[in-house]
Structure 1
Amino acid sequence: MLRTFCIGLILSLSLSGCAFNSVFVNYPSQIAPFKQQLNSETPAANITDLANNISGNDGLLYAQESGRIMQVAGDFTRSKTYYQQAIDAYQRFDDKAIVSASKLGAGASSLLLNDNAIPYRGPGYERIMLHQYQALNYLFSGDIQGALVEVRRSNELQSLEQARYQQSQKSVQDMANGVIDDQVERLGKEAGNVTSSFLNAYSYYTTGLLHELANEPNDAFIDYRKAAQITPDNVFLQQDLVRLAKQLSMPQYDEFKRRWGEATLPTAGQGQVIFIIEKGFVPEKQSITVPFPINGNIQSASLATYLPQHPLANNNQIQGLDAPLTAQAIANIDALAINALKEDLPAALFRQAARVYAKYQMNRSVQNSDQRANNQVDAAAMVMQIFNVITEQADRRSWLTLPRQAQIARQFIDAGSYNIHLNNSKNIKIDVTANRTTLIWAIETGNRTRFYSIII
């Protein structure tokens, strides 16, 4: 009887898994065609196929991907709609007073299936960047006040996510596993100087830039300084701090001037150009096998990791202005992603250990329930082994249309029209107006670069 019940449970869970998009089919393979589409003339041609999944188990993730694809395509209005769906989904996660039956069901399923059965809630850096990108949607739609609301929320989330992470580690800090310890150490080296997933210099820079464009220099100075604390060697950030410290008669001006030189200021008839350049895509998670000893037997499980990454090419060269301009990195998004996984591995290990033990107990129950029917025991054991193999899938979900790196550049130049290009991209025309700012957002997706500009 127990054998029949177990097989029925397996079939039931397998069928319910059809509603969980990534339970049996890894997420990177699902999103690969849409990333390839971003290198075509019609980057959003199949967006409906992706957006139709927003109501499913991974809906928040599909909403983020859909919003990003429409943003890369230049449709800021539709991107805003998809991003808002993701923002609403995060808000529902935050509402701890509501525990729905669907969430309880997903938790039970994940115990026997894999972490992909848990409704997707992105790591902190994804949520922060969601608000940052929504701010850029508002800005390029001409609504700077709406943009400021979003970047302020982005800043708040950087501290909230840090507190959430510290709390989550208290319950899993005593877990130990040699394979996971090695992975944590390797991922830490892979992330380089970036030691946190929730402190993002790119987001702080965007917030500071919007404050400055909104004529709020004090707030801009605060956020530029936060960005510089994370990315201290960026020359453009250093110049921003010197310039604003001088403008605001701040006591730090003499120190900044001594460290970084005098600020460059515009002359009569000049405007400024600011470049935000995004390169490539964040890496995909891969799967590793982790052994667990149970009662003298070694059981294996799958967890996610990142493989070593090839170094990025040199900083982008901007041609066509009064003088060549070299952009500099403001943030490596891949390092944020690697740190997010490193921070989550202890909790993932805890869940995986519970899952391996539950599957082991199910195997024992099937074998013990039919000791007098060896052929039935063999059949049930085989079914259980097949079930374990099929469901042993690492959680490789993440926001994969994010850029791998963001760079910035800024220059004061004479008013006029310029034909510029980035590395080997096609020329585009930009206009510069005296005493105004021309913001250029360049998005590289493999072999294609798209430019969007606005005068503020």
Structure 2
Amino acid sequence: MQALLHTCLAGVLVFSLSGCGSSDGLGLSGQDQEQTQTYAETFAPAKEALKAGRFEELVGRMNASFTKDGERMPLEDIKDELVSKNSELAIVERGLLTLNSGDFELALAFFDAAEQKLDKTESNGFSSFFGSMGGGGLAALTGLEEGRPYRMRGYEKVMLYNYKALCFMLLGDRKAYNVTRNAIDRQQQEWEKFKERLAKLEAKQQEDGEVANISRQINADNRSVATKKKAALVSSAYVNPFGDYMNAVLQEIDSLDDKSLRDNARISYEKVVENNKSCSTARTASKAVMKNAPQGRKLVHVILSDGFAPERKEMSKALKIEGLTGIVNWAEAAPVPTKVTGARVRAAGQTANLTSLSRMESIALRDDQDMIPWRYTMMALALARSGSAGFLAQKLGLKSELGAGLVSKMQRPDTRAWLSLPNQVLVARMYVPNGTKQITVETLSGGSRLARANVQIAAEGPTVVYAVSYDNQLRAYANKNSWVKQ
């Protein structure tokens, strides 16, 4: 036990000397304040601004450093600065918040930078090193989980590519296709890596009998019944039909020029239905895409992101197991409520209901559930740290509770997550007369209209509409041009 305490203290020293190297903050709070707050607390100003409809004000504050003498820096310079000074988490948060304010070009630059940063992190082996012992090498020994650079979760990496593809689509650029394929491939890769990490953890627990024995006696699952039910709505955090849907939309748009591609679009739509049977939009599209487009009409796809992903809240519990007494802290995902229960789109006398595509809330909650085996290990190590500190305190003539309490205060469970991700993603597909200039997107709460947004659609060719809602706030954007003409 004393050896473990010495290791903990050495680890604390290493962390204090090295630092994390890249900022996770969005620059919305003072630097000193951000260091004492949980990640959700530092994100709170962004959430408040979005719910109040202050999108432009938020993005202006967040991206102020990229403006010099009243002009925005060149995009390549912005990307270089992002990669050198910020973590992947900070970059993707900025990217999505910028996309949600309607600046597709700048948002794409953020997602480019996030991909560069992610590739750099993974290519130098950093991810695998800090992935040991359940996601934190030294962090596992010291309890300073938030003291290490953030390691993006698998489903977050997938969404990085999906949003990058969406930016290209909104810019009317077919480059979206390759990025969408990367998202689909990445999802499979992350699933394989998760299974490999889980197998290694189970093998390690069998080798370390003491930690495994303590782990079995710890209740590390305090989730409510409602939260467990939401997590159970998806079979794993790596079953997200967003990428397949984006792929299907791209293939359908291409098939307007080349009918031989219709079958590819049909297969992609069917994959969406396999992973989310509630997506009646994809089910209908899988049949409709095989037919000729109606004469004198143009295709419109609507993608609506609503609400916020779950927050990771800090939890604490006093434990006494195997003669060890201490306080352990951990982070647990908690849903963020949304008022939106449905949505619809109106155009030229038609109405189409949006249907479920991605249950992002459930995916995040399922990821938290799937990580519980690592949580057991981290809590067992935390209890061992507290017990070691109590033992050392006794040797120094102090109360054992004092040592355990000091160690508990040093523990910083990782509360970070990509919080600007939506609670849910809904989609609709329809054809409108060629002369249609705008459509109306509406969100609903219990059958009553909650918010409305009008959006101009492309004068020629298919349109992809991206809408984003936060309770009473709703914004909608669309591509002005398309690589295909109708």
TM-score bracket, shorter-length normalisation: 0.7 to 0.9
Distance across 1 between alignment mates of 2:437 and 2:353: 17
Alignment map for 1:308-347 (pairs within 5 Å): 310=337, 313-347=340-374
Structure 2 residue matching 1:119: 3-state secondary structure? coil
* Structure 1 residues 323-369: Cα deviation after superposition (integer angstroms, max 9, x where no partner): 2221111111100100111111211221332233134324423432x
Counterpart position of 2:115: 87
Matching residue of 1:262: none
Structure 1 residues 169, 437: CA separation in 2 closer, same or farther (over 3 Å shift)?
same
Matches within 5 A, 1:49-448: 55=84, 59-95=87-123, 107-144=137-174, 146-173=175-202, 175-180=215-220, 183=223, 187-215=227-255, 216-244=261-289, 246-247=290-291, 266-307=293-334, 310=337, 313-368=340-395, 370=396, 374=397, 377=398, 382=402, 384-385=403-404, 387-423=406-442, 424-431=450-457, 436-448=461-473
**Pair 1:103–1:330, CA change in 2 (3 A):** closer
State the one-letter code of the partner of 1:195: S
Q: Residue by residue, what CA displacement relative to the aligned partner does 1:196-252 show, whole Å, maximum 9, x if unpaired? A: 1111112221122122223343432332221110111322111111124x45xxxxx
Q: In the comparison of the two structures, how many residue pairs are matched? A: 425
Moved more, 279-288 or 60-69: 279-288
For 1:115 and 1:7, the matched residues in 2 are separated by 13
CA RMSD of aligned residues (A): 3.6
The aligned amino acid for 1:129 is M
| 3-state DSSP of counterpart to 1:207 | helix
Q: Distance in 1 between matches of 2:65 and 2:217?
A: 37
Amino acid corresponding to residue 36 of structure 1 in structure 2: E
Identity %: 18
Question: Conserved in 2, the CA contact under 8 Å of 1:283 and 1:306?
Answer: yes
Deviates more, 1:110-119 or 1:343-352: 110-119
Change (3 A) 1:183 1:298: farther
Q: What amino acid is the match of 2:170?
A: F
Q: How far apart in 1 are the matches of 2:217 and 2:240?
A: 30
Runs of at least 5 residues in structure 2 that lack an aligned partner in the other structure: 25-33, 67-80, 206-214, 256-260, 443-449
Amino acid at match of 2:262: P
Instruction: Give the secondary-structure state (helix, strand or coil) at the position aligned to 2:358.
Output: strand
Residue 45 of structure 2 corresponds to residue 33 of structure 1: yes
Is residue 24–residue 391 contact of structure 1 (8 Å, CA) maintained in 2?
Answer: no
Does residue 1:45 correspond to 2:60, yes or no?
Answer: yes
Match of 1:450 in 2: 475
Give 1:447's aligned amino acid: N
Q: Which 5+ residue runs of structure 1 have no aligned equivalent?
A: 248-264
AA aligned to 2:285 is: D
CA distance in 2, matches of 1:191, 1:79: 30
User: Any conservation in 2 of the 1:416–1:432 contact (CA below 8 Å)?
Assistant: no
Q: Tell me if structure 1 keeps the 8 A contact 2:12–2:142.
A: no
Work out whether residues 61 and 399 of structure 1, in 8 Å CA contact, stay in contact via their aligned partners in 2: yes
Distance 1:9 1:188 in 2: 38
Q: Deviations over 1:143-200 (max 9, x none)?
A: 21x2112111100011111111111222444653452256498744222421211111
Tell me how far apart the structure 2 counterparts of residues 7 and 111 of structure 1 sit (CA, whole Å).
Answer: 6
Structure 1 pair 336–103 and aligned structure 2 pair: CA distance change class (3 A): closer
Give the Cα separation in 2 of the matches to 1:274 and 1:206.
10
Query: Where does residue 29 of structure 2 map in the other structure?
Result: none
Q: What code does the residue aligned with 1:238 have?
A: R
Spell out the pairing of 1:4-15 with structure 2 (5 A cutoff). 12=13, 15=16
The Cα offsets for residues 17-64 of structure 1, whole Å up to 9 and x where unpaired, read as 9758687521000111123233304230221479988656x7111011
Q: Match of 1:303, SS?
A: strand
Letter in 2 for 1:147: A
Whether the aligned pair in 1 keeps the contact of 2:438 and 2:457 (CA below 8 Å) is: no
Q: CA deviation at 1:296?
A: 1.7
1:27 corresponds to which letter in structure 2?
Y
Conserved? CA contact 1:26–1:396, under 8 Å: yes
**Equivalent position SS for 2:150:** coil
Q: What letter matches 2:454 in structure 1?
A: I
Tell me, what secondary structure is at the counterpart of 1:196? Answer: coil
Residue 277 of structure 1 aligns with an amino acid whose one-letter code is L
